[in-house]
Amino acid sequence: MVNTGATVALAAAAGEVPVVFASSADVYGTWRDVAVSEDTDPDPSTPYAVAKLEAEGALGERSTVLRVATVFGPAELVPRAIPSFIKAGLSGGTAVLHGGGRDVKDYVPLEAVADAFVAAAQAPGNGLRVFNIGSGVGRSTAEVLQAVARVLGTKLAADEVPSPRAPSRLVVSPERARAELGFDPDADFDAGLRAEAAWLDANRGRWG
């Protein structure tokens, strides 16, 4: 797979130089009743997650793996829940809520993720290290829709669309990254939404 092959090539080229690898919390699977730690056995269920886990295994012993949760923030133009909801609110449109909005994800601000990569690069350790990069808080898609409406100060209508798959739930514990990297996931979710909304509002020409 592309992720695995590229990582193998990178690890070989790096030699003894430490590598910080952007992995995904998806390696833990689609449903976990409680927040997962780095000691939780992976259970990837998608080709993407399988490739990320295989890529982790190709890294050298001095490398660092960051298993990143669902990132959000300014400049996000992909068709994911948060930017889609914000764009619907800004344009007076209708949001689409799949599967009743029951999926629960761990949303982490882009700026906090960037800080985690810098910290990991500046603090190499001995042996392969793995860190969860997330907020430690689970929010359903329906709760995210309500939060976006609250931040925009508007009523946001939603069309509910059936989902072909079962609901998912995945929240990560960031405590190891907090202790060893000084990672701060910034618990002010609404502030993160406001920042993304401001960027999308100022850049309507890129999505309108």
Dihedral of CA 142/146/149/151: which sign? negative
Question: Is 48 marked active-site?
Answer: yes
Can you list the alpha helix ranges (DSSP code H) found in the chain? 2-14, 47-57, 81-91, 110-122, 141-152, 175-181, 189-202
Catalytic residue among 22, 48, 62, 207: 48
- Cross-strand pairs, 67: 23, 132
Dihedral of CA 35/48/53/183: which sign? negative
- Cross-strand pairs, 69: none
The one-character DSSP state at 57 is H
Token pair, residue 155, equals 């009523």
Q: Which of 84, 121, 109, 92 is nearest to 192 (CA)?
A: 109
- The helix (H) or strand (E) run that includes residue 159 is strand 158-161
Distance between CA 172 and CA 133 in Å, rounded? 7
Q: Mind spelling out the 3-state secondary structure of 10-35?
A: HHHHHCCCCCEEEEEHHHHCCECCCC
Catalytic residues: 48
